[in-house]
Amino acid sequence: MINRFAATVAAEIISNKKVGAYHHIVFEVGEIAAQARPGNFVAISVGGENSSMVLRRAFAIHRSMDRGASGGVVELVVAPHGGGSKWLTGLPVHSKVSLTGPLGTSFGIPTEPVRALLVGGGYGSAPLFGLAEVLKSRGCRVDMVLGASSAGKIYAPIEGKRAVSSLTITTDDGSAGFHGKVSDFLPRIIEENQIEIIYSCGPMGMLEAISQIADAHNLVHQCAVEESMACGIGVCMTCVLPMRGDDGVVRMERSCIKGPVVDGESVIWNTKGSIPEGTWGR
């Protein structure tokens, strides 16, 4: 089911700043901000009125803020990779875009204080900053691991250090923090900090590795999956992902509707784009 709070607005860009390899963009979105939760995303129409890019682009919400009568804002962290994201990051302040949100599922927040570990890869770590703030407001201890291929692709490491109890940085090339992948260091962090729940966001390979570690330590793992979402509202079927339901049946679920935040244990990983044997309807 589409997020019941979702609405489409003409969102005005009130800030667009380059931060390392990415752009931090702030949109004025009115009442949408009050309904947005960590893990939700927005879908933005890109390219302008005469563009051939007819499909919207999905972007995870970095933070949201309800400012009351002065209007709410959402913040995005955008990597200018493709034509749509390059167009968006190139827009000047006061430009307006058609934005739909909040969409998708959000991270579940424990009712009691817990020891939480947040793991992010590249700009995929963006939703974890707002999540860290919510968890800390609930009395949770929050540890964070940020990883990327190189130092320039770690998003806001100084901000991350201020936001959590401890921050570990890893890079594939060793240019910042520890040399290696985030998964190389998780078992030690889990044991030393007595972690009780893991939240993650980033590349699918990283999420799979974290799920295996979480399973080995008998921990709950909530992950925001990174599948291509061409529409964001469950129509185009480009973001389907094999998932095992509570009834034990594997189904091809739309990650923009069922997710993006899902239980890592429910995902059938490493399918390489194929439909697993035994999937319902196959």
Position 275 scores a pLDDT of 83
Distances (CA, A) of 38 to 4, 53, 91, 158: 16, 28, 25, 20
Q: Could you tell me the CATH superfamily of domain 7-103?
A: Translation factors (2.40.30.10)
For the chain, where do the domains classified as CATH 2.40.30.10 start and end?
A: 7-103
In sequence order, the β-bridge partners of residue 76 are 25, 61
Give yes or no for a contact between 60 and 107, defined as CB atoms under 8 angstroms apart: no
pLDDT means per 10 residues in the chain (282 residues)? 91 95 96 95 90 88 86 94 94 97 96 97 92 96 96 88 92 96 96 98 95 98 88 85 93 93 94 80 62
Position 237 scores a pLDDT of 85
Q: Which CATH class is domain 115-226?
A: alpha beta
Position 281 scores a pLDDT of 64
DSSP string, 234-276: SSS-TTEEEEE-TTS-EEEEETTTT-SEEEGGGB----TTSPP
Q: Dihedral of CA 51/56/58/61: which sign?
A: positive
Cα gap 154→141, rounded to integer Å: 22
For the chain, where do the domains classified as CATH 3.40.50.80 start and end?
A: 115-226
Position 282 scores a pLDDT of 60
Position 151 scores a pLDDT of 94
Position 161 scores a pLDDT of 84
Residue corresponding to tokens 């058609």? 98
Position 87 scores a pLDDT of 96
In sequence order, the β-bridge partners of residue 201 are 120, 224
Give yes or no for a contact between 192 and 168, defined as CB atoms under 8 angstroms apart: no
